[in-house]
Structure 1
Amino acid sequence: MCLVKGQIKRPTAEKLLKHSFFKQAKAPELPVKKLFGDLPPLWHCLKDVAQLALKKMPSVEQETISVSEYQRGVSAWNFDLEDLKFKAFLVFILIIIELVFSF
């Protein structure tokens, strides 16, 4: 009944509520408040996510290094991939060291 594609052929909500299926349906045994009562409010979760995102944001120094490395690589037209990989590795190591010593 509910899955009929044609809107005209589908019963209205009022008719569906009078159907025996819905009349015989039992109320859930566990109220929704009991199921979700122990969860923290949504805004707490959003605040935690925002704080985590701030921690993961690159610092100004990291952003400056990244931009300067990019500009140097592009402006010099340096196609030495091994050299670029090595420099990227050094930047990665510097970021790891900063993360380790920031705690």
Structure 2
Amino acid sequence: MTCCAACGLLASGAACALDVQLPQETATLRPSSLPGAANAAQCLMCHSADYMSSQPPMGKSFWEAEVNKMIKTYGAPIPVDQVSAITEYLNSVYGADAQKPAK
């Protein structure tokens, strides 16, 4: 007999399925009038909105590299022409520019 590692049951021909109930998502992206704010909603396909706020306040080049990595490495279906707008939004709202005092 073999053991199903995911659920610890003996494999006897019965299906091994788990019913996982996750809490309803309540976090949202921070509001902004920047055009990239709407485009950044695409990030929520894979990430919680809390993910962006948990990043250190890095600069624009960090956010651009992250967005490009999501596209090129992980296959995020984000059009390349939206990278600049999303980068600007993430940097302004979550990044180094968000840490600067308002003028």
Q: With a CA cutoff of 8 Å and minimum separation of 6, indicate the structure with the bigger relative contact order.
A: 2
Is TM-score (shorter-chain normalized) higher than 0.5?
no
**TM-score, scaled relative to structure 1:** 0.25
Structure of greater Rg: 1
| TM-score of the pair, normalised by structure 2 | 0.25
